[in-house]
Amino acid sequence: MMKLKIAFVCTGNSCRSQIAEGWAKYLGNDVFEVYSAGTHPSEKVNQNAINVMKEAGVDISCHYPKTFDDIPYEIDVLITMGCGVVCPFVPNKYEEDWGLPDPVGHPIEEFRRIRDIIKDKVLDLFAKAKNKEIL
């Protein structure tokens, strides 16, 4: 099966989209070619995002915030995190907005909660892809 190009996007590309990229690479590298980007990338990945992913056995410490120029022009699956900002137009065949609150500025428990929600959503995407519900 040919891998689908998937991009997770948000504003800073420092937390939610990085967590999603980490889960997608860890759980479904056989299904997706994974990217993430931000409309206004932060300087670095949020340390709490790195810490809660490490707790779950996923290392995203080498990740860095990226711009839309760092992802392919055309994506099969585009996932937005619910940031309430207008993203640049990215041609895609399937799109979802996950509407997740940004845990930045909240206690570590909120990062863990968002991490676990994202994991479930990534697993759901994989199931949809394998069942040909995407594309």
Provide the annotated active-site residues.
10, 83, 87
122 Cα distance to chain centroid? 9
CB 82 within 8 A of CB 99: yes
CA angle 87, 88, 93 (to 5 degrees): 90
CA pseudo-torsion sign 116, 89, 67, 128: positive
User: Encoding tokens for residue 1?
Assistant: 């099966």
